[in-house]
Homo-oligomer: A and B are copies of this chain.
Amino acid sequence: MLGLMQSHQLLISSLIEFAERHHGEGEVVSRRVEGDIHRYTYKDVATRARQVANALDDLKLGFSDRVATLAWNGYRHLELYFGVSGSGRVLHTLNPRLHPDQIAWIANHAEDTVLCFDMSFLPIVKAIHSRCTTVKHFVALCDADKLPADSGIPGLVSYEDWIGAQSSHYKWPSFDENSASSMCYTSGTTGHPKAALYSHRSTMLHALSGALPDSLCMSARDSVLPVVPMFHVNAWGLPYSAAMTGAKLVFPGPAMDGKSIFELIESEKVTFAAGVPTVWQMMLSHMQAGGLRFSSLKRTVIGGSACPPAMITAFNDVYGVEVLHAWGMTEMSPLGTVCTLKNKHLPMTSEEKMKVRLKQGRGIFGVDMKIIDGDGHELPWDGKAYGDLLVKGPWIISEYFKGEGGSPLVDGWFPTGDVATIDPDGYMQITDRSKDVIKSGGEWISSIDVENIAMAHPAVAMAACIGMKHPKWDERPIIAVMKKPGFDLTREELLKFYEGKTAKFQIPDDVVFVDAIPLGGTGKMQKTKLRELLKDYKLPGA
């Protein structure tokens, strides 16, 4: 027997409808690419998102057609979030930090039909537009008078012209909540990037659970600054949960230096900010140098890579800001765990609390976790046993777009590639971050990609890339190289060889020449052993 309740699909359009109706005067503030501050309301977001939807209809885009963005965090990007997904198309947020070749490959793989980009990224689009064979429409996210006359990009229009011509009346369609809403490619560790394809249902459930008090605790009393880019797994879902709760949204645009971020927090009375450790490190340095203090900031969520204890201490003890350590993945929409305390922790000393805060946190409602040993047996939650971490839940992928990489699930569980412990209270701690990937300033660098370029050099017999601790970027890659007999190769020659073949931040910081790279029984490189061999190594300048 079915219940007798109203049937409403969980759709992303309902978020902006709710925000307009219940929080119409709620503010959305953006630092624009031009450097100035733009300020409007959720009512304006909703109005212009409807114009986006009409503009897409005008282009005769079909249901589930992909609309790509290359954009910073800002109000036009937000309008695309709701206009694209709300009208039944799929929002594809491209990562502008990738190499243009990778971006072109990804746009083709996704079969993007429209590409909307910030003017900062005009050089990238100029370089790749002729290779993006499925893209029929290019939209520059700017006013008409900022549009370059000689871009060479066929049919390029300004966003303001494009949506300005449209009616602001539009009835959001209703459809199956399991329909695709947006997608995000993960760099991965092997082979080509693979995409997570999110659904309206997964996005809505993620936004609900992500806004709970034990997750990011979003309310209409908050002023929220997502420093984490909207091209990184939808800025951890903050654009959605902010609209759901009517929280004020503050977008930093491209200005993510410590001074700009601090000033924005102060001028917009930000109460809650989200970002990777590198960004906070820059901001804390700026504050320390100037003897500055926060007047409004209460909480900050830190994820993307493990948060250094000194940073948690600085926020908590020096600035009185609660740090929420968090963990997730592109494949998880991304929120998996958030480190909020339980009732039992409240009477503890701050030293004892710090031990809890250093962990990646508890699974938010909807995410289940387990750790298994090499034979697949579940390990106890004792805070000591560590094993491969697996997760399941309604906002975790079942497979990648176009079935790339085969079926990733193991008995319905997604293997995260991380090794972790879980304590009796459910707090997870990653002990061995995913084996080989290098996490540099919130970005993942595929060690295999770095190795493949070195291996293409005629003088290289074998190359292994590993991450080395770095005070600012968390980790930086170095490449260990075994030369071919009779060949000469210098550090400088090999580093020069990388130029133009990958994004600059993916070029290793150093080259270490070795006589041999340790191999295991099946011929695979044993990076653990390599790390042991290089345990006394120091990064240049680190």
What residues of chain A have their CB less than 8 Å away from a CB belonging to chain B?
A: 1-8, 10, 17-18, 21-26, 63-64, 90, 176, 178-181, 196-202, 205, 208-209, 211-214, 217-223, 244-248, 333, 340-344, 346, 362-363, 365, 368, 392-401, 409, 412, 414, 424-426
Contacts and interface: CB of A to CB of B under 8 A. Distances in A.
A199 B414 CA distance: 29
B217 A213 contact: yes
Q: Which 3 residue pairs of A and B lie closest in terms of their CB atoms, listed nearest first? A: A3-B199, A1-B64, A213-B219
B245 A365 contact: yes
Given A245-B212, A394-B8, A3 B365 contact: no
Contacts of A25: 344, 424-425
Nearest to A391: B6
Contact of A3 (B200, B221, B409): B200
A18 B1 CA distance: 26
Contacts of A199: 2-5
The residue among A197, A342, A394 with the most chain B CB atoms within 10 A of its own CB is: A342
A398 B4 contact: yes
Contacts of A396: 5-6
B393 A6 contact: yes
B213 A400 contact: no
A196 B3 CA distance: 9
Given A6-B394, A213-B221, 12 more contacts: A3-B178, A3-B197, A4-B196, A5-B199, A5-B333, A5-B396, A7-B178, A8-B392, A24-B424, A212-B212, A217-B219, A222-B343
Contacts of A178: 2-3, 5, 7
B179 A398 contact: no
A368 B199 CA distance: 23
Contacts of A211: 212-213
A139 B284 CA distance: 63
Contact of A198 (B3, B197, B220): B3
